[in-house]
């Protein structure tokens, strides 16, 4: 199925109407991709656009859809929540306590938890907390890591070669001192971190990282790297923050930290924890988290919608399902491995310089001469080929974000037939690309 712009009059018309009242026509910068312009319904592994075209969804709302669209256990919990308390704005609710207890029982680093609405809020709180607890000003992030839209981390994600590792802000309007308070290291290169800590001895409050940098596809860490970070942070009194907004709950109920065996001081999470409903959070060591205590602490915790009943209900239902269905992970890991193996076989047969990567149910195809280990290797990625492959898959009915280095996600609703069809379509798309 090849789709052309002329096939989407309703979607295109809505996009044009949106542009008149919403800057750029979308409420988050990377949502505008051209066709498909707008969606009207979703079920399981499929999204349907405004013109009635159905797509097998691997975008999964940047990974927020974990179980599949409109998952029945989550919808049932939401319907029940709608008949109860809407929002009190005072005290605490049973759902908030239940969610915090659940998080503290499944995430290794979690001794205490706060709820947020988004992952960006969670990482902002984690950084502020780290600075308050240590009395230090600087933080370290990794080139290619994305930790939300707030000022200290809004730099050096998918940087062009001439801007990588230098000052590469994501936005205008950020105070220079906010950007300069963040130091940039190389993922999977412990020496780059050691050098920064030595150069700024006693000044670094925290190191924040996606344990798998899924915002540039999937760079899988070595055991030596993550264990080395833990040891460095312990020896220097630096707070280690795992940003598990994407990896949390997608790869394991206890997050990637439960897989790699390294326990950070703080963990942020969101996205898939509520299967598409807005909720996030921050958890960690009790002595650190007590800084948020409104009576005895010194770090502000505020947010009208923090711990709202709908977000908590959706999160609890999602986590309950994952706990009761461990085969979810077996299944998504198997499908992810099939896709990576299949893609590697296809590009090998076609003689393309490309390498499948990923972890669990996340997969992507780098167009690089060698399989990347860090961002420096991604400077050789053929961005045009990356985008063209994803666009070709969209035109065949498989929704993959047509932006370079963006990952794809297998949800609990994908089937073996979906995987087989995906590889068949990918073979045709890549053959066209090779030609």
Question: At residue 209, does pLDDT exceed 50?
Answer: yes
Pair 281, 400 in one domain: no
The C-alpha torsion from 69 through 70 and 73 to 77, rounded to 10°, is 130
Question: At residue 5, does pLDDT exceed 60?
Answer: no
Pair 261, 360 in one domain: no
Question: At residue 295, does pLDDT exceed 50?
Answer: yes
Confidence band (pLDDT; 50, 70, 90) for 43? Answer: very high
CA distance 164 to 167: 8
Cα-Cα end-to-end distance for the chain: 20
Pair 197, 256 in one domain: yes
* Residue among 147, 144, 127 nearest 245 (CA): 147
CATH number at residue 393: 3.90.1150.10
The domain boundary, picked from 324, 347, 362, lies at 324
CATH number at residue 149: 3.40.640.10
Pair 284, 392 in one domain: no
Q: Given the structure tokens 């035109």, which residue do they identify?
A: 395
pLDDT at residue 7, as a whole number: 67
Pair 364, 380 in one domain: yes
- Cα 158 from chain centroid? 14
Q: How many domains does the chain have?
A: 2
Pair 84, 64 in one domain: no
Q: Provide the domain limits for residue 341.
A: 5-70+326-434
Residue-wise pLDDT for 87-121, tens only, equals 888 899 999 999 999 999 999 999 999 999 999 99
CA distance 207 to 195: 13
Spatial contact of 49 and 55, defined as CB atoms under 8 Å apart? yes
Pair 104, 234 in one domain: yes
pTM check: above 0.75:
yes
Pair 137, 206 in one domain: yes
Question: At residue 36, does pLDDT exceed 90?
Answer: yes
The domain boundary, picked from 289, 308, 324, lies at 324
The domain boundary, picked from 324, 340, 371, lies at 324
* Residue among 364, 330, 373, 329 nearest 344 (CA): 364
Pair 160, 210 in one domain: yes
Give pairs for 3-6: CB < 8 Å, separation 24+. 3/35, 3/36, 3/53, 3/394, 3/395, 3/397, 5/34, 5/35
């Amino acid at each position: 199925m090849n789709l052309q712009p002329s096939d989407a009059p309703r979607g295109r018309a809505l996009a044009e109407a949106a542009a008149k009242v919403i800057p750029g026509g979308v409420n988050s910068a990377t949502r505008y991709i051209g066709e498909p312009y707008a969606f009207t319904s979703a079920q399981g592994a499929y999204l349907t656009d405004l013109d009635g075209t159905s797509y097998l969804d691997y975008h999964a709302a940047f990974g927020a859809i974990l179980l599949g669209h409109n998952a029945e256990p989550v919808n049932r919990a939401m319907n029940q929540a709608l008949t109860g308390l809407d929002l009190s704005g005072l005290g605490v609710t049973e759902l908030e306590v239940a969610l915090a207890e659940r998080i503290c029982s499944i995430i290794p680093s979690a001794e205490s938890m706060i709820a947020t609405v988004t992952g960006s809020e969670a990482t902002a709180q984690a950084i502020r907390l780290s600075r308050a607890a240590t009395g230090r000003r600087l933080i370290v992030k990794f080139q290619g890591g994305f930790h939300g839209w707030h000022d200290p981390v809004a730099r050096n994600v998918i940087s062009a070669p001439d801007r990588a590792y230098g000052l590469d802000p994501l936005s205008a309007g950020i105070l220079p001192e906010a950007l300069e308070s963040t130091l940039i290291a190389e993922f999977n290169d412990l020496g780059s971190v050691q050098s920064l800590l030595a150069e700024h001895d006693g000044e670094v409050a925290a190191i924040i990282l996606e344990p798998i940098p899924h915002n540039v596809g999937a760079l899988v860490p070595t055991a030596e790297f993550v264990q080395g970070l833990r040891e460095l942070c312990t020896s220097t009194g630096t707070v280690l923050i795992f940003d598990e907004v994407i990896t949390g709950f997608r790869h394991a109920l206890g997050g990637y930290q439960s897989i790699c065996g390294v326990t950070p001081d703080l963990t942020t999470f969101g996205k898939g924890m509520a299967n598409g409903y807005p909720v996030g959070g921050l958890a960690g060591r009790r002595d650190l988290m007590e800084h948020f205590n409104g009576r005895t602490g010194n770090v502000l915790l505020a947010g009208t919608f923090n711990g709202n009943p709908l977000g908590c209900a959706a999160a609890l239902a999602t986590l309950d399902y994952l706990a009761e269905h461990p085969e979810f992970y077996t299944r998504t890991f198997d499908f992810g491995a099939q896709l990576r193996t299949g893609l590697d076989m296809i590009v090998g047969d076609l003689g393309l310089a490309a390498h499948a990567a990923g972890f669990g149910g996340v997969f992507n195809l780098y167009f690089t001469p060698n399989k990347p280990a860090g961002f420096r290797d991604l400077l050789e990625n053929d961005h045009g080929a990356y985008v063209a492959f994803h666009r070709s898959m969209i035109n065949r009915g498989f929704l993959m974000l047509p932006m370079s280095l963006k990952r794809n996600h297998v949800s609990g609703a994908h089937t073996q037939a979906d995987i087989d069809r995906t590889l068949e379509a990918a073979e045709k798309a890549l053959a066209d690309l090779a030609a």
